[in-house]
Amino acid sequence: MSIRLPLLALLVFSLAPIFASAATAADRFALVIGNAKYPDADAPLKEPINDARSVADELKRDGFTVEIGENLTGDGMRKAFERLYGHIKPGSVALIFFSGYGIQSNRQSFMIPVDAQIWTEADVRRDGFSLETALGEINNRGAGVKIALIDASRRNPYERRFRSFSAGLAPVIAPNGTLVMYSAALSSVMSDNGGDHSLFVQELLKEIRVPDLMAEETLNRTRVGVTRASRSEQVPWISSSLAEDFSFIPGARPTASLPQQPAAATPPPPPAPRVDLPAPPKAETPALPPPEKPAVASLPTNEPPPPPPQPALADDPTIKSLTAKLVENPDDAGSLYRRGQVYASKGAYDLAIKDFGDTIRLNPKDVEAYNNRCWVRAVTGELQPALRDCNEALRLRPNFVDALDSRGLVNLKSGLNKNAVADFDAALRINPRLTSSLYGRGLARQRSGAISDGEVDVNNAKAMDPNIVKEFASYGIR
């Protein structure tokens, strides 16, 4: 519901298919990337660099020729991928590991370089690196086994800049001979554990070090280990189309190469529980019911939230850059809109509203500016102006999912619960994984008296995004 985007953290792709017993060191190539220092984030990520180094060390012991890159820009990532592609020939093995931020866009998952300039969904496709594209290129070069291991479901610093996003990662459409693993369920996000390594990599390294395990079994055991260690709060997702046997360690290696390795592997544990995502709502007519009369008084839980503590906004490097552009050209609508997004993400709502208003003055048909101003006004409690903005956005772009989601928030805060349910229903028909609409519909249903249906929506939304309750609380809704 916020101006947000979803996250990518770790990415591992594996290699060209050959029989495990026939694979040699020359056949195995790995690209390992750890991106931690993103200028748009408040602080560097703690886990990706350590995770990348540990994974690279392990892969070297397993016979891979490894290239490791840290805090790569878009140009650096592009060159690194090209070098990997250049190594691959028919029958070789190629592995890619990426740890950093990632974003789901247009049903694909993108790895994000540290210098990405992301303000709209189109920027994700321009600056990000598609998982599907990378797997497809590896396959085109002749690799038979492709394995993608992705620990990428982090909240990212771009999510409040635009609304057209779904949290977490998308299912991948991969060529035959591919094994894909995400560290968390589809379209879900997890918080980092605050340690030196992610839980996913901790469990992955344990299982990779077990000799003679087929790759699918290695990843299944990793999934079970993560699920148990997190008490089912983090349940990895796996998809496989492997046609050949592949093992990271096709035979026992010297004990010295196995630090702290148990004497014998335990039998694989039973399958981990799954988090079921909600089914898409039934395709009902998109028409909204007649508007309800506004409640006489606002609900006590809908008081506007206090603004968060403000840093020196003028010192923010992004704001400084955009302001400098506006000094040169006050009618730069793009810079006004982007600065408004940054202000909104930092809780400077009055400044955001002004910039969105100036954007609309320069371009009266800027549907994104109307929608984002609607959302900011909804958060601050300016409900009637917010409703006008959302209605205009939907007039300009009918069935605009983000504006439906925003108007649902406006109606929810106004006590117009039937209208809120209708808006959230319409949004979910377009994007059944839009967590904010699912949670908002659950609250609206509960307030309308449909307690059990509302609880189902709320619980499903919380399973998809454990932070959704805190997010709505920041809007003044509990």
Same domain (yes/no): 112, 210: yes
Q: What is the pLDDT of residue 448?
A: 94
Same domain (yes/no): 57, 193: yes
Nearest to 235 by CA among 206, 203, 210: 203
Q: What is the pLDDT of residue 86?
A: 92
Number of structural domains (the chain) is: 2
Same domain (yes/no): 178, 307: no
Per-residue tokens: 100: 């950093």
The answer to whether position 248 is within a domain reads yes
The answer to whether position 164 is within a domain reads yes
When pLDDT is averaged across residues 319-325 and rounded to a whole number, the result is 85
When pLDDT is averaged across residues 244-255 and rounded to a whole number, the result is 68
The answer to whether position 278 is within a domain reads no
Domain that holds residue 343: 300-474
Same domain (yes/no): 250, 319: no
Query: What CA–CA distances, in Å, run from 112 to 11, 52, 101?
Result: 11, 15, 6
Q: What is the pLDDT of residue 331?
A: 92
Residue 279: burial class (beta carbons within 10 Å; 0-12, 13-18, 19+): exposed
Largest CA distance in the chain: 76
Nearest to 349 by CA among 315, 402, 386, 295: 386
How confident is the model over 99-135, as pLDDT tens digits?
888 888 877 889 999 999 888 778 888 999 998 999 9
Same domain (yes/no): 35, 174: yes
Same domain (yes/no): 240, 351: no
Please give the model's pTM, rounded to 2 decimal places: 0.53
Same domain (yes/no): 196, 323: no
C-alpha dihedral over 302, 307, 308, 311, to 10 degrees? Answer: 170
Per-chain mean pLDDT for the chain = 79
The answer to whether position 150 is within a domain reads yes
Residue 78's CATH number:
3.40.50.1460
Same domain (yes/no): 18, 142: yes
Q: What is the pLDDT of residue 303?
A: 47
Q: What is the pLDDT of residue 266?
A: 38
Same domain (yes/no): 200, 113: yes
Does the pLDDT at position 353 exceed 90? Answer: yes
Does the pLDDT at position 253 exceed 60? Answer: no
